[in-house]
Each structure stands twice: as C-alpha cells, then as structure tokens.
Structure 1
Amino acid sequence: MQSAVEQKRLQLSKSTEARTKSLLGQFFTPEKTAAFMASLFPDANGVCRLLDAGAGIGSLSAAFLDRWRGGGFHFRRVEVDAFELDRTLVSHLSQTLDTYSHRGDFVGNIHKEDFIHAAVDSLSGDLFSRPLDPYTHAILNPPYKKINSHSAHRLALRRVGIETVNLYSAFVALAAAHTAPGGQIVAIIPRSFCNGPYYRRFRDFILERTAIRHMHLFESRSRAFRDDDVLQENIIIRLERGGQQGPVMITTSTDDSFADLTSHEHPFERIVFPHDPERFIHVPTSPDKNAIELSRAIRYTLAELGIKVSTGPIVDFRLKTHLRDRPGSNTVPLLYPGHFTSSGTTWPIDDMKKPNAIENNPDTEKWLYPNGFYCVVRRFSSKEEKRRIVASVVEPSVFGAAPMLGFENHLNVFHENKRGLPEPLARGLAVFLNTTAVDEHFRRFNGHTQVNATDLKLMRFPSRSALVRLGTWAMQQGVLTQDEIDAQLRTLTE
C-alpha cells in the first residue's frame, strides 16, 4: 500500500510541467528508493541532526524517520533541517514532518531559503547569517542543474573553496562540509561526477574530506526516476565524513524494485586507481578483474604511443554557410557518426539528413585533416545501447582523390599530429577499443552517454607494436565477430 507521501509524489510528478522540473532541477524520490537510501545508514544512537537539502515534499526525511520509528535507529531525539526553496511544496513538506511530532522527541525545521547561500554564509562566518550546527546525518536528492560560471551560486561556492559545475555536486560538497566527523551522508546523484575534467575539483573535495563506504548502481539508465523521464544514469552513494578509507561495498539492481540486488566488496584501489592523476571513481560490478586489469601488456598511454585523440573540430551550425548536402567542386568529405558502421565507411549517404561535404576554403581549412587512415569513436550512445565505445576506421579510398577530410563534433579522432595513422595501427586501435573488456572497463568510471576525448586520453593501451599486430590480423580476416575480437585481445603479450 502506498504511503501518503508516495501518493502525493506521484500526483505532483504527473501534474508538474516538465519545464518547471527542468527549471528547478527538481525530481522527487520514489518511495522504494527513499527506503533503500535510508537503509544504507549504519545503526546509531544518541541525538541525530539530519540534513535534507532540497527536501521537496519530504520523501527522504520520511523514509529515514520511518526507519527510526520502526526501531532501525536508536536515537533519543531527532532534529531535521529541511531546506526547500519551492514555496509550492512547503505545505506538503510540513504535513510530512508533522506526522512524526507527536512523541516530543522530534523537531522538524523547515528552511524556506536557498541551501547553497545559507550553507556558504554559515561556513564563511557571515555576520548576518545563522550558523548551521554540524549534522550527524544527511540524506539528499539534490537538484540536477548546471551552474553558470558567473552565477551567484558559482561565486558563492568559490568563497568556501568549492569549484563545481552543477547544483547536485554543490549540495553534496556543502553537506560534507557541514557534517560532523564520523557523520554519514547518503545521496542519489548523477554518475557524471565519477569522471571528466569538469568534476575533478569536486572529486578532490569529496575524497579529501570523506571516505566512500557504499555505492549503488542502477543497471537500467532510465529506471531510477522513471515517473519523471530522467535518463541520466544515477548512483546512490554513502560517504563518511573524516572516515579512514577502506573497502567499498558496491551493490547493483536493474531498477528501483531492488528485486535482483547483488553486492560485492572491493578494495579501494579498484575504485580510485592509485596513480590516476584525474582520480576517476570506478564502479566495478563484478568481483572479478577483467582483461584490462589483468593484462600486463595494456599499460601505455596514448602520449607514450605517439598518438593523439581530439574531438572532431567541425561544429556544423557554426559553419553552416560552408556545408553542402552533396560533394561538389571545392568541397571535401564531412564525416558524421552515421557514415560509419561495423562493415566500414560509407560516403556519401543520400538520405542521412546531414550534409556530406564542406567547402575547402580559407575559412574552413584550419578545421580539416589530410585524407588518410584514422580511428574514430562516436561521442554519444543512445540511452540503452549495448556498447558505450564504438570505434571505426576511416578508409581513405572511399573518398577518391579528396585531399582533406572534415570530422564533425560528434566524433573523437585518433591521429598523429592531425595526420592519418598507418593502416595497421588505425585498425588495431579500432579492434582494441571494440573489445568487450574495454567497454566494460570504460563503464566503470563513465556514467553517461558521452565518450569524451579526455576519457580516452586517460585510458591504457597495448604497445604500438601490439596494436599493429592486432591491425595486421584484422586486415587478414573478413567481417569480425565480437567473440573473435575478444579472443584476439587475450593473445596480447608484452
């Protein structure tokens, strides 16, 4: 039977316009997910000070308090600080918290103010602000919304040493800053913070102040907030303020029913690799090491191989006047992901709804590469696609006498100083990148549909000679099956 809070959530999810949800970054937590999040906290006693920032209608606080009232915690008293900026939700939030007030051992404080500004003012010792006492617990489903680099939020966060690009990571960082030593934080947030340069400072902030105790991954990218059509891959994470880092519990489930929950404990060096300068956070879903971790032959950076990878430089809408649907005089091929399939390069394509060519002139020449063999990787995958990394080989013979090529922005291009690669090397890179082991390894730290050039730069590869051997083997075969590609990876040696 659904609780009153869950019934209200479903009603509001249906009645709230998508534009309003997007504007506020507001997505309410389903009841089963809230209960699971509350279950992750270790038992505790004494006095609890709980932070629920971005509280909405109080679903998370209710789940936490239900566990307490059911004997799952042994607190003498609980005080909740619930921050909610949306005035239309405050009455619902008040109703939720009031249901726990009848025994005299609970206080619910509702703060109708911006959590970021309140938390920053408290940390910075603003004379006109109300200081926030340290919290023993925090439970969060923070808003998902980008922060403009010159916004009031961004400037406020910089005052307390927090540099980040999204409200969700700002909320988690501020919650950590306001949590007492040993305090516990459980949050459901997009997995995008695990990798990429934009969240590097946030990862540093969290890893320096907290220990990661638990991470839960939903295997279906669209199921955590399915009532709100959220396609971002989400993760539930438990952090301990000031904790000594040890093993991390990883749990997975297909969706928010948690019916097929699996759990494995992993040493921290499998979560954050000891010598990774970017401190990517990996989420291994199996206790077994895959071929990438086990192989001593896969240990070279692209820089060590003399190979570069770049995002395709042509942003089509910025060069719109130079684009042509069909090749003609003074044009060169313009390549999109749609020009590549598992069977090779197809160009031009008449019904692709994208231009096939771009003029070669003084305004475009700086964006073009000489015709040759390249390895390309699509930057985006669809929401439930089997593979995250899809690599193809650019075959120069397809383009006839074209001297130059244009690579559109939705491709990552492997090259040697903006020139093509030897054919065996290009084909070897494609074979390696298309292995199941590489895709699985990549998914451990990449939680969104995008494959950035930065992510590819930080991967480890076989030696140049091993890649050439892979490419030479591929050139001697017909169409390769996934099993054949994966089997060939296992033959690599130093």
Structure 2
Amino acid sequence: MTVELTSILDSVRNSVNGSSCRLERSRIGQFLTPARIARFMASLFEREREHVRILDAGAGLGALFAACVETMVSRNYRPLSIHVVAYENDQKILPYLKETMEWCKSTCQRAGIPFQGEIRVEDFIAAAIAQAEGRLFAVHRERFTHVILNPPYKKIIGESATRQLLDAAGFGVSNLYAAFVWLSAKLLEPGGELVAITPRSFCNGPYFRRFRINLLNMMSLHRIHVFGSRNKAFRDDDVLQENVIYHMIRGGRKPERLIVSSSEGADFDKSRSRSVPYDHVILPGDRDAFIHLVLNDTDDRLMEKMEAFTTSLVILGVDVSTGRVVDFRAQEYLRYLPKEGTSPLIYPCHFVSGFVSWPDESGKKPNAIAVSPQTMDLLLPAGYYVLTKRFSTKEEPRRVVAAIYDPNRVEAALIGFENHLNYFHAKGKGLSANLARGLALYLNSSLFDQYFRLFSGHTQVNATDLRKMRYPSHEQLLRLGAHIKHQMPDQAMVDEILEKECGING
C-alpha cells in the first residue's frame, strides 16, 4: 500500500474531476493535488521527528498528508507515532478523504507505528484564528511538526465574513491561499516545517507585502521550486497559474544558501537545481521583502549587470502611476474620433515603433475623451511622458513594452491615459524630451525586460514593481535619449546603445 497509495489517489482524483465537479472546484478555488506533486512535496521535509503531527488544511482527497505518511514510513528513521489533522468542509469529497485516512492508518499499523487521524469538517480560517490568537479562554493551542498545503486559490471578497474575521485578527490578506499559509505557519511548533504549493504572485507586489514580511520574519526559506509552464502543474484542471512549491522552517537563523529548482511540470526527475546565496533571493534591506527567483547562471549574470544601476526613480525626480481613465466608468465621455471639446485618450493600441501614434482609426478603441468638469481629474497637461503596457501574456516576447508620448506629434493641451497603461511623469507633469527618450530606451532593453521577468512573477506590469527597479543615472538617461530620433531603434541596437553608454558588458 505504501507504494501504491498516492497512485490510487490519482485515479480517484481523475474520477472526482468530472466536468461538473471541476467547474465547482474552480469556483471555490480548490484544485486537487496530483500524486507526483504530492510525493515531491513530502520529500522536501528534512528533519527527523519521533512524534509527528501533520496539518493538511483544505485536504481535498488527502493526497498530501498521505504522501507524508507514505514517505515517513518508507524512511530508515521511522517516527514513533503519527497524528494527522485534516481540514475539509466539502461534503462531496469527504467519503474519499475518509478512505484515505483509513489507508494511512492501515499502513502505519503494518509498520508498527501508532496512528491517529482527525478529519475536521469546519472552516479552517475560523478554527486557526482561534488557535493562533491564544487568548485566555481560547481553545487549547495545538502545535504541529509538519504542515503540507495546497490551499484554495481565490480572492477574498472585501465585505465577506472571512475578510472581516482575518482583518480583526490582524491577518489581512487578499487571497485565501495567503491566509491558509500564514495561519498554518502560526500553528507550527519551533523548528516545525512547512511545504506548500501556491501561486507565485506572493513573491512580489504590494498586495502580498504584509503577508510576505510576516511570513519571512516567522519562517526561514530553505527551498523553492518553480514550474516553467503555467498549465502543467494542475493540467487536468485547466489551471493557468504560475505555481511554486516552497519549504520553510519555523524560527531559527536564515540559511546562508537555499536551493532553487525548476521543472516544466511534474517531471521532477528532469528538474534543474542549484544552491543560491540567500541574499540573492531576498535582498538585504529590501523593506518589501521581494523574493527573486534566480534559476540559472543567466539569471546570476542579470543580477550582476543590474548592479551597475544604482539610481531610483525618486532620485531621478520621476514617478510612475497607473492611467487614470477607466473606460467603462467614463463611457459616456468617450469618443471614437476626436472633435472639438475633446482631448486625446491613449490606449496600448496607439503604440507604434516606440512612440504614440494617434489617432488610431481602426475603431477598436475610443480615441478621445470629452473635456468637462467631470473629467478634468482624469486628464494631464501635455508634455513628454513614457508609457508602458500594464498587461501581457507570459508567452509574449516582451513583458515590458514602452512608448514615448511626444507632445509635438499630438496637438492637444490635455491628455488622458487609459487604465491599461502606466505613465512616467514628474509630479503629474511631463518629463524633459531627452530624459523621456532615454527612459523609454532603457525600458525597452532586453536587460530590463529579462530582469523584470526575474523580479516579477506577474504577467502584469504594476507601477509598484516599476518603482522598485534600478535605473541609470540622470546623465546616462540623457545620453541614451540622444540616440532616439523619429522611432525606437531595433532591439539589437537598443541593447548595443545601453551597453555602450552605461558600461554594461554583453
């Protein structure tokens, strides 16, 4: 049974994942863990324990805790006892979960290991908050040696009871998976280990900042595994998500080095693994605690090249903001063609050869916005601005695409930028011409794009992420800008100019 359990669960998972059930699981953000992933996750636990207490919150079929039991029973050093606590409140899946718990019990009995299994049909978040708070009359505070998680992936609605409960307890997060990981980590005993598979989105950006900081203060990161393909980790569920698996230990000193590995999907026998300095993954002094996934020697060289740039947007006197015009909210003021009483409205479709080409008469998007008291707060004074697209797909050749808004090419006193764009500006006004050109060239360089992909797991290009990036000095940007005339040079020339003017080795 110890050899076959997770494989048996895979066949059950495929049976449970019928089309109607799959839609329901997608609605609640729960995706059942394939056997190969469960086994890999269980293999990451390092420490030997005499008495093992395993927490699996959002257990589903129980593949994760079953893989833990399977792994521990097969090791030379076996625990003296195993206790599993599994949270699951989906009534449809409970019969399968009970069978898994019985299989674990039988396996431990044959190995001569006392086993206790509990299935708690209740809301994990509410139960965990009661445990974590540890108030005078709270329930007994239990602690676990191991946590293994594939939590639900779903945004928490702002006014929901779950959000109110989390906020009141000081666990304010925007997604269920972060809440599950944070609360589970709080339930670990000192030295306890956590292995989780979640979206990569928590590694950077403002939405998970509080979660990231608290988790990394409480836990030391020892291993992180990245999936190269968005659709292979949970292939049967049609999930397009950049997933990572990570192993952390409660408390203790941060390791000098950690393991970063990667694979396309669940083909872990073909994974690439490397030891990386901890400070290359979580940069010292970074108040946002971004997690950089340095997967290979190319990524190391990128990090080294970017060290040549030490200037921030603050030092440059430049800021970046998200376009103010949300088109569906301002629909009554939008016009497909410019006319008297309107100002240009710029969308990503206006990007042509590194500049804004306006108007676009294809009819796909409006070209103008009516100027009125209701729209004045959405408009900016004419000037040189640098724009970037906010959204891309992972498969696109570039994540960061920049264009220059040149006021000499568009006759207008005011300008509107749609919400699918970010715009670089100087206190709400335009930049100098050469500074804008130089900044746009840098943003369109291969170096910037590759580093941004390393730095950010999102397919979005957020203003917050752009603020965190390193930039050339003011003088270097002016020299870069002098190379741009009527259009952006081709990619090879952009990269050559950057290397020459900024002293970057190819």
TM score, norm. by length of structure 2: 0.92
Match among 323, 332, 337 for residue 334 of structure 2 = 323
**1:251/1:73 Cα in 2 relative to 1: closer, same or farther (>3 Å)?**
farther
Q: Which residue of 1 aligns with 2:388?
A: 377
Q: Distance in 2 between matches of 1:317 and 1:82?
A: 44
Q: Distance in 2 between matches of 1:211 and 1:360?
A: 54
Q: Which residue of 2 aligns with 1:265?
A: 275
What does 1:320-359 correspond to in 2, within 5 Å? 320-342=331-353, 344-359=355-370
Q: Distance in 1 between matches of 2:322 and 2:343?
A: 19
Kept in 2, the 8 Å contact 1:424–1:475? The answer is no
Match among 119, 140, 155 for residue 164 of structure 2 = 155
Q: How many residues align?
A: 492
Kept in 2, the 8 Å contact 1:124–1:159? The answer is no
What does 1:160-309 correspond to in 2, within 5 Å? 160-246=169-255, 247-287=257-297, 289-291=300-302, 293-295=304-306, 297-309=308-320
Q: Which amino acid aligns with 1:305?
A: L
Match among 435, 456, 478 for residue 446 of structure 1 = 456
Kept in 2, the 8 Å contact 1:290–1:441? The answer is no
Q: Which residue of 1 aligns with 2:25?
A: 21
**1:361/1:155 Cα in 2 relative to 1: closer, same or farther (>3 Å)?**
closer
**1:85/1:121 Cα in 2 relative to 1: closer, same or farther (>3 Å)?**
same
Q: Distance in 2 between matches of 1:359 and 1:292?
A: 46
What does 1:378-397 correspond to in 2, within 5 Å? 378-397=389-408
Kept in 2, the 8 Å contact 1:291–1:490? The answer is no
**Structure 1 position 153, deviation (Å):** 2.2
Q: Distance in 1 between matches of 2:235 and 2:495?
A: 34
Match among 432, 437, 452 for residue 422 of structure 1 = 432
* Alignment partner of 1:465 is 2:475: yes
Structure 2 gap segments, 5+ residues each: none
Moved more, 12-21 or 233-242: 12-21
Kept in 1, the 8 Å contact 2:303–2:451? The answer is yes
**Structure 1 position 346, deviation (Å):** 2.8
* Alignment partner of 1:30 is 2:40: no
Q: Distance in 1 between matches of 2:242 and 2:76?
A: 29
What does 1:355-370 correspond to in 2, within 5 Å? 355-370=366-381
Q: Which amino acid aligns with 1:309?
A: V
Q: What RMSD, in angstroms, separates the aligned Cα atoms of the two structures?
A: 2.2
Kept in 2, the 8 Å contact 1:214–1:250? The answer is yes
**Structure 1 position 204, deviation (Å):** 1.6
Q: Distance in 1 between matches of 2:16 and 2:40?
A: 22
Match among 60, 69, 75 for residue 71 of structure 1 = 75
* Alignment partner of 1:53 is 2:67: no
Q: Distance in 2 between matches of 1:448 and 1:96?
A: 36
**1:49/1:462 Cα in 2 relative to 1: closer, same or farther (>3 Å)?**
same
**1:60/1:451 Cα in 2 relative to 1: closer, same or farther (>3 Å)?**
same
Q: Which amino acid aligns with 2:55?
A: L
Q: Which residue of 2 aligns with 1:87?
A: 91
Runs of 4+ in 1 over 6 A off after TM superposition: none
Kept in 2, the 8 Å contact 1:221–1:384? The answer is no
Q: Which amino acid aligns with 2:484?
A: A
Match among 8, 11, 15 for residue 11 of structure 1 = 15
**Structure 1 position 137, deviation (Å):** 0.5
- Residue 440 of structure 1 aligns to a residue whose secondary structure is helix
Q: Distance in 1 between matches of 2:300 and 2:425?
A: 30
Q: Distance in 1 between matches of 2:340 and 2:422?
A: 27
Kept in 2, the 8 Å contact 1:250–1:285? The answer is yes
Deviation string, structure 1 residues 346-389 (Cα, Å, up to 9, x no partner) = 32223352211111122112211223321111111114223221
Q: Which residue of 2 aligns with 1:409?
A: 419
Structure 1 gap segments, 5+ residues each: none
**Structure 1 position 48, deviation (Å):** 0.9
**Structure 1 position 474, deviation (Å):** 3.1
Q: Which amino acid aligns with 1:319?
A: A
Kept in 2, the 8 Å contact 1:290–1:437? The answer is no
TM score, norm. by length of structure 1: 0.94
Q: Which amino acid aligns with 1:390?
A: V
Match among 99, 105, 110 for residue 101 of structure 1 = 105
**Structure 1 position 197, deviation (Å):** 1.8
Q: Distance in 2 between matches of 1:236 and 1:396?
A: 48
Moved more, 122-131 or 182-191: 122-131
**Structure 1 position 19, deviation (Å):** 4.8
**Structure 1 position 285, deviation (Å):** 1.4
Q: Which amino acid aligns with 1:376?
A: L
**Structure 1 position 68, deviation (Å):** 2.2
Q: Distance in 1 between matches of 2:114 and 2:18?
A: 35
**Structure 1 position 292, deviation (Å):** 5.2
Deviation string, structure 1 residues 24-57 (Cα, Å, up to 9, x no partner) = 2111112221111111111524111011000001
**1:252/1:72 Cα in 2 relative to 1: closer, same or farther (>3 Å)?**
farther
Q: Distance in 2 between matches of 1:155 and 1:318?
A: 28
Identity of paired residues, percent?
A: 43
Q: Which amino acid aligns with 1:453?
A: A
**Structure 1 position 160, deviation (Å):** 4.0
Kept in 1, the 8 Å contact 2:225–2:262? The answer is yes
Kept in 2, the 8 Å contact 1:216–1:235? The answer is yes
